[in-house]
Amino acid sequence: MSEARIVRALGLCSGGLDSILSALVLRQQGVQVHWVSFETPFFSSAKARKASKHTGVPLMVRKITPVYLEMMRSPSVKFGKNMNPCMDCHTLMFRLAGEIMTEQGFDFLFSGEVLGQRPMSQTRTSLRYVEKHSGYDGYILRPLSAKNMPETIPEREGLVDRERLLDITGRSRKRQLQLADQFGVTDFPAPAGGCLLTDKIFSRRLRDLFDHQERYPEKDLNLLNFGRHMRLDDQTKIVVGRTQSDNEGISRCIDTNRDTVLKVEKFPGPLVVMPGGGSEAMTLLAAGICAGYSKAPNHEPVAVSVQTGGRRRQVMVLGIPTAENKRYLI
């Protein structure tokens, strides 16, 4: 008598409760579940790593920044409220996961998406759009809402029992919390999104970057998380630290070969970086802004250190009052 075939499924994992439950529902049927989590400067795999550790579901992590930026430059569907290309994002992730599925011999894909939970990306129409345009039509199973959706290929072929899948819909979390209790899942994040592209301020900064640069080094994308961002002219931007933590974050994103770094001497103040450097006029303006946000005395010339590459010099400037600097804010 031949052994029963092992069914293997690859799921997209955000690390949230729905992702966890979708894997456990399938594992309860004897399906060998694995996860993949994709990373860019806009979202991380930290929650997915934690979920994998607590559930024992194996996790692979893939960085996809170049292909993700290519998608963002020309999305097929309009952005959400900010710069979140949810439909194209999900389509891309399923396409990339499908390539892994084919390469590594998984039988189908799955996710924790719930029909009707999100007004833009989890409607019946949008879920269908993603499946159709991913290139893996019929191979994407949503275990938590499967009974309310058309039968997939793995269900039709008997790889999973449709009757043991679920029919959750809408925004209520009641049934998910009941399931979590049944599975003994006690440690999971709140359902808030972890994508920076849904944040208004971050999106404004990213749009400015897209409008003024042709290339987007990862350090420039990471820099969007820190400080005050100011556009001095079409060619020049500066980032001004607000706190010690900001200063540390900015320092990690500096390209010492091309960026100009400014710091007030002898007085506490912000770290300021000018990505790619700038003209002498813009450097002096940045120095004045740097001094204005420092603890240096008002109305007195202050020394500001200016470093580009291996060259360091000092300029004397008057601090520009912070109220005047607001016009540069991005």
pLDDT tens digits for 14-42? 999 999 999 999 999 999 999 999 999 99
State yes or no: pLDDT of 226 exceeds 90.
yes
State yes or no: pLDDT of 192 exceeds 70.
no
Give, for 232, the enclosing helix (H) or strand (E): strand 228-233
pLDDT confidence of residue 2: 45
What's the one-letter identity of residue 198?
T
Specify the range with the lowest mean pLDDT, choosing from 140-154, 178-192, 198-212: 178-192
Q: Are 219 and 209 in contact (CB under 8 A)?
A: no
What's the one-letter identity of residue 296?
A
**Banded pLDDT at 121 (limits 50, 70, 90):** confident
Compute the average pLDDT of residues 190-204: 88
Question: Quick one: what percent of the chain has pLDDT higher than 90?
Answer: 88
Burial class (CB in 10 A: 0-12, 13-18, 19+), 76: exposed
Query: How many of the other CB atoms lie within 10 Å of CB of 213?
Result: 13
Q: Are 14 and 121 in contact (CB under 8 A)?
A: no
Domain 8-195 in this protein, CATH class: alpha beta
**Banded pLDDT at 130 (limits 50, 70, 90):** very high
- Contacts for 267 with CB less than 8 Å, ≥ 6 apart: 294, 295, 296, 302
Q: Which residues pair with 304 in a beta bridge?
A: 264, 315
Question: Sign of the CA dihedral 135, 12, 6, 155?
Answer: negative
In the chain, where are the structural domains located?
8-195, 199-328
Query: How many of the other CB atoms lie within 10 Å of CB of 175?
Result: 16
pLDDT confidence of residue 193: 66
Q: Which residues pair with 37 in a beta bridge?
A: 61
* Sheet of 8-12, strands arranged across: 59-63, 32-39, 8-12, 108-110, 140-141
Mean pLDDT over the full length of the chain: 94
Question: Quick one: what percent of the chain has pLDDT higher than 70?
Answer: 98
Q: 194 — phi, psi (to 5°)? A: -110, 15
Nearest to 248 by CA among 266, 222, 267, 229: 222
Provide Rg for the chain, Cα atoms.
25
- Chain centre distance of CA 255: 22
Specify the range with the lowest mean pLDDT, choosing from 101-110, 118-127, 293-302: 118-127
Q: What CA dihedral angle connects 125, 126, 129 and 131, to 10 degrees? A: -110
- Whole-angstrom distance, CA of residue 195 vs CA of residue 233: 29
**Banded pLDDT at 298 (limits 50, 70, 90):** confident
- Whole-angstrom distance, CA of residue 13 vs CA of residue 111: 7
Quote helix, strand, coil % in the chain, to nearest 5. 40, 20, 40
Prediction pTM value: 0.90
Burial class (CB in 10 A: 0-12, 13-18, 19+), 217: middle
Give, for 303, the enclosing helix (H) or strand (E): strand 302-308
pLDDT confidence of residue 200: 95
pLDDT confidence of residue 164: 97
**Banded pLDDT at 77 (limits 50, 70, 90):** confident
pLDDT confidence of residue 61: 98
